[in-house]
Structure 1
């Protein structure tokens, strides 16, 4: 992944600077922590994530207050996420951010919080079910957006900022698609007021996304069903102005018959 090389560089830096942070209670604990940390890294590289997580957690306790402990906590969060333990991973990241607001790795922690929440794939079961990303609950996507936004606002020059900006753009499109998905659902079931309200909300919050075309179409059809002629004409005028070649206009397709994001 894009950020893995940076993570490994941070691991190496931490090993070099471990002694520069707050000193653990005694040299025995420090030696044990460093040994456990190196063993955990080996387990991490070999794919023994569960054992590595336990070792990193022990390191965090033994080297409390040091850079080594900070990195151990981040590693445990990362591996928990890779193991599918999202709640555990988020808890570890949130603890890091709360305990280390001035850490040199804070930008990575924010990035990791965004990555954990970032729903860029559905996995095997989602693919088999034919479920689209926009059809899922979007709370995680909004949480990811906020994490990435905090990262780019606080650390615009961070090595993770460019990728965070790209993911933010993807999330905005996904959130817009979700709103249109809900509007389409209401339209199909004859809940025209709800469909119009949801489509209008999508246009207000996400006006520059690809989903805006279908949102306008849903508005036209909802207002037509409600016999709100003036509103229907206004929505259709905006649709024709912004999307003169829209398939919904030129092919006479009904909104919801085949969503714009379905390519087959």
Structure 2
């Protein structure tokens, strides 16, 4: 009886060992941290972002106190972003910022965080169709703006700040367009109070954006439609004062429409 039990145990152990031996090999086993870093960097520069993530994660796990550990964390975020895994990219960059708030690359981390959210707001189909931020849910645009704002405020001399400022201007203009698009929608359907409310929000929040010309026009037309002539005249007066060359009252099309900020992917191809 004892002998039979020993035989069964031996066979089970052998089967387990055989199964382990037949599993996938770790190609990085035995690599030094220098080799692992070089291979990970090569994968990143070569556009193999799945392999890039795998190698940098292994590097950080095996050598958490090594010279490449913190660099690996931010590179993981970058590779997730370039591989279009935006949720993982956002998690990785937030982790880096939380763990290393004083790191020399934290300015880049905020820049990357803004880029990740900036892309998330548009998405692949938006790039193909030319859809811009003003036609989408503005939450991601606001999140991207906040990340860029932290970068430009805390690190005004960062090499990433000029591009972040450009993107912030684009986001502001797009958010203003979004509110004016909504105001226009309400106006065309006869919801004049809703149109007034949304146009006023655009004017208050984005007073220098090109879309404000149309927001004032919508105020002028909406107040006129509900018989509030004094407020309608006030809106028209402010419109003419700020946009003396505007033809929108005659044409219904704002003069700044031709200068509307192009889709971000037409400007930045990072």
Q: TM-score, normalised by structure 1?
A: 0.80
Q: Residue in 2 aligned with 1:253? A: 251
Determine if contact 2:187/2:195 at 8 Å carries over to the other structure: yes
Counterparts of 2:50 and 2:128 in 1: how far apart (Å)? 28
Counterparts of 1:42 and 1:128 in 2: how far apart (Å)? 30
Q: Residue in 1 aligned with 2:139? A: 139
Partner SS state of residue 257, structure 2: coil
More deviation, 32-41/98-107: 32-41
More deviation, 123-132/34-43: 123-132
Q: Residue in 2 aligned with 1:162? A: 162
Deviations along 1:39-91, whole A, 9 cap, x unmatched? 11111122211011111111121222444111111111111111111111000
Seen in structure 2, the aligned counterparts of structure 1 residues 93 and 130 have a Cα distance that, compared at 3 Å, is closer
CA drift at 1:222: 1.1
CA drift at 1:130: 5.4
RMSD: 2.5
Partner SS state of residue 174, structure 1: helix
Counterparts of 1:109 and 1:165 in 2: how far apart (Å)? 16
Determine if contact 1:81/1:89 at 8 Å carries over to the other structure: yes
Determine if contact 1:173/1:211 at 8 Å carries over to the other structure: yes
Q: Residue in 1 aligned with 2:207? A: 207
More deviation, 94-103/65-74: 65-74
Q: Residue in 1 aligned with 2:242? A: 242
Q: Residue in 1 aligned with 2:221? A: 221
Determine if contact 1:119/1:141 at 8 Å carries over to the other structure: no
Counterparts of 2:30 and 2:182 in 1: how far apart (Å)? 55
Partner SS state of residue 158, structure 1: coil
CA drift at 1:134: 0.9
Q: Which runs of 5+ in 2 are unaligned?
A: 1-28, 261-270
Counterparts of 1:130 and 1:88 in 2: how far apart (Å)? 26
CA drift at 1:244: 2.1
Q: Residue in 1 aligned with 2:195? A: 195
Deviations along 1:163-183, whole A, 9 cap, x unmatched? 111211111111111111111
Q: Residue in 1 aligned with 2:47? A: 47
Determine if contact 1:30/1:63 at 8 Å carries over to the other structure: no
1:233 maps to 2:240: no
Determine if contact 1:33/1:58 at 8 Å carries over to the other structure: no
Determine if contact 2:133/2:175 at 8 Å carries over to the other structure: no
Alignment of 1:88-167 (within 5 A): 88-119=88-119, 122=122, 125-126=125-126, 129=129, 131-167=131-167
Q: Which runs of 5+ in 1 are unaligned?
A: 1-28
